[in-house]
Amino acid sequence: MIVRIMGEGQYVVDSCLLDELNIIDNRIVDHVSKGKQKEFGEELTKLISTVKKEGKHLDHNEIIESDIIIPPKDLTLKEAEGIFKGHGVIKD
């Protein structure tokens, strides 16, 4: 599976990591819906760091269609309201 972190590149991630990423994504959706800025930021950072830790970074010259696109870590809560709703960025 290919995951793009906006502004940081693409990573190849084993599909068995999808459940863990989805749990984090669902927590982000919950925090955003409740307006919890701090918790939202912590979980977004966790989502990004998990992909970076568990995934293999692709060369910037290699362009592959992404299965999942994660917004940058400096995303505001207001911006997140339009992205992290319903199923979030990871569709189960």
Provide the domain limits for residue 53: 2-80
Model confidence at 92: pLDDT above 70: no
pLDDT value of residue 91: 79
Tell whether 89 is covered by a domain: no
pLDDT value of residue 58: 96
Q: What is the pLDDT of residues 1-48, one digit of tens each?
A: 999 999 999 999 999 999 999 999 999 999 999 999 999 999 999 999
Tell whether 27 is covered by a domain: yes
Tell whether 85 is covered by a domain: no
SS (H, E, C) the chain: CEEEECCCEEEECCHHHHHHHHHHHHHHHHHHHCCCHHHHHHHHHHHHHHHHHHCEECCCCCCCCCCEEECCCCCCHHHHCCCCCCCCCCCC
Tell whether 26 is covered by a domain: yes
Tell whether 92 is covered by a domain: no
pLDDT value of residue 81: 94
Tell whether 46 is covered by a domain: yes
Q: What is the pLDDT of residues 47-84, one digit of tens each?
A: 999 999 999 999 988 889 999 999 999 999 999 999 99
Count: domains in the chain: 1
User: What's the rounded Cα separation, in Å, for the pair 66 and 78?
Assistant: 24
Tell whether 86 is covered by a domain: no
